[in-house]
Each structure stands twice: as C-alpha cells, then as structure tokens.
Copies of this chain bind each other. A is one copy, B any other.
Amino acid sequence: MIAGMTALYIFMLAAFTGYEIISRVPVILHTPLMSGSNFVHGIVLVGAMVAMGHADSTLEQVIGFVGVMLAAGNAVGGYVVTERMLEMFRSSKRGAK
C-alpha cells in the first residue's frame, strides 16, 4: 500500500519528471506528444482489468467490461495514431544528418 507522505513523494517526483522531460519541445511536436501522452495514460487498461478481475456483481462486471473496453481503445488507438503521426519524422530523410 502506497500511502500518505510516500504517495506525495512519488507524486511530486513523477510530476517533476514529467515536467522536466518535455520542457524543451518544439511546437511541431506538440500534437504528437499530446497523442503520445494520451497513449501512456492508456495504462489505465491495467487498472480496468484489475477492477474487472475483481468485479463480483453483474453491475460491477458490466461497468468493468465497459471500462476495459474503453481503456483498450485508449491504449491501442493512442498507439496507432501516435505512430502514424511520428512517421513523418523518419530519420531516413535523404540520408541527411
């Protein structure tokens, strides 16, 4: 169980990390990066699976089902879309630097 101050520390450090790693990003990457981070929070799929895995009542199961479905959509869709957008940064580019 992560709780109390520890949670706060993890939260602070993760927030710091998130802020730092994208603090110098060119405008043209804004949309791909938005899409990429959209994909990353697709990790909610893991949570949805756990929630559904422990769901007991039908209602819980239904909600869990919907949750997993949505989360899977987030993860898969986020990946596909980001990948396509980043295609244009192929480094091949006429063999230039």
Which of A's residues lie within 8 Å of B, judged by CB? Answer: 2, 6, 9-10, 13-14, 16-17, 20-21
Contacts and interface: CB of A to CB of B under 8 A. Distances in A.
Contacts of A21: 20
- Copies of this chain per assembly: 2
Contacts of A16: 13, 17
Contact of A6 (B10, B14, B20): B10
Contacts of A9: 10
Contacts of A2: 6
A13 B21 CA distance: 12
Contacts of A20: 17, 20-21
A20 B21 CA distance: 7
